[in-house]
Structures are given as structure tokens and as C-alpha cells.
Amino acid sequence: MPAAQHHDRTSKQPEPLKPVEVPVFSCIAYLSKNPTGGVHARVANLAGLECDAGTEREALSKIVPAFKRRMAELTASKTEIPWIEPPIPKADGEQVRLIPVHL
């Protein structure tokens, strides 16, 4: 290879990608049918998160972002997460959804 076309591969190599640590939290959600129709969802392992919606999908699309916001706020402020250990027992008629939530 002529000298003008020679490239020094060692001088301009990009650094290898380093793994990024992404926190993952377990959201334990309980879902039940509302007596008036629709679905009620509540988080069993973190207090104060619950909602009502027309369907399970809508309920989860509300409760999971709320859980994620709470986790982001607590971790950003370096506040200890007030987990409910063990989680609140589920009531009759509730179904459990275990949802991994990445920040």
C-alpha cells in the first residue's frame, strides 16, 4: 500500500462501547374489575399508586408510568425507596401483574 493511502488503525480507533447501568424495578400491580365497570389497578409494593380505567391495558398504561416517575424522582433525589415488604396481600378477585420497569 502506498504511504499516502496508509491509515494508522491504532491512532483513531473508537473506544469500545461500555455497558450502561440501567436500574430495573419490579412493579407488582393488582387488577380487579370495578363494580360499576372498568378496571381498578393498584401497586402492591409501593404506597399511593392506584388508578381506574376502562380496560386492563388502559389501567397499566397509567399505573406503570406513574410507578416509573416515582422511581425516577426517588432515585434522582437519592431518597430511600419506601418499598412495602412484604407487598400488600391481594384481595379476592384481584389478578397479579409483575412488571419490570426500566428507568
The residues spanned by each domain of the chain are 23-102
- Looking at the predicted structure, is the pLDDT value of residue 8 above 70? no
CATH 1.10.150 describes domain 23-102: no
> What number is the average pLDDT over the span 30-55?
96
Q: What is the pLDDT of residues 13-23, one digit of tens each?
A: 667 788 878 89
Whole-number Å distance between alpha carbons of 27 and 89: 14
- Looking at the predicted structure, is the pLDDT value of residue 1 above 70? no
> What number is the average pLDDT over the span 5-10?
52
Whole-number Å distance between alpha carbons of 66 and 11: 47
* Summary mean pLDDT of the chain: 90
Are 49 and 42 spatial neighbours (Cβ–Cβ below 8 Å)?
yes
Q: Write down the pLDDT at residue 19.
A: 81
Residue 42: half-sphere exposure toward Cβ, Cα within 13 Å? 15
What cell does 35 get?
363494580
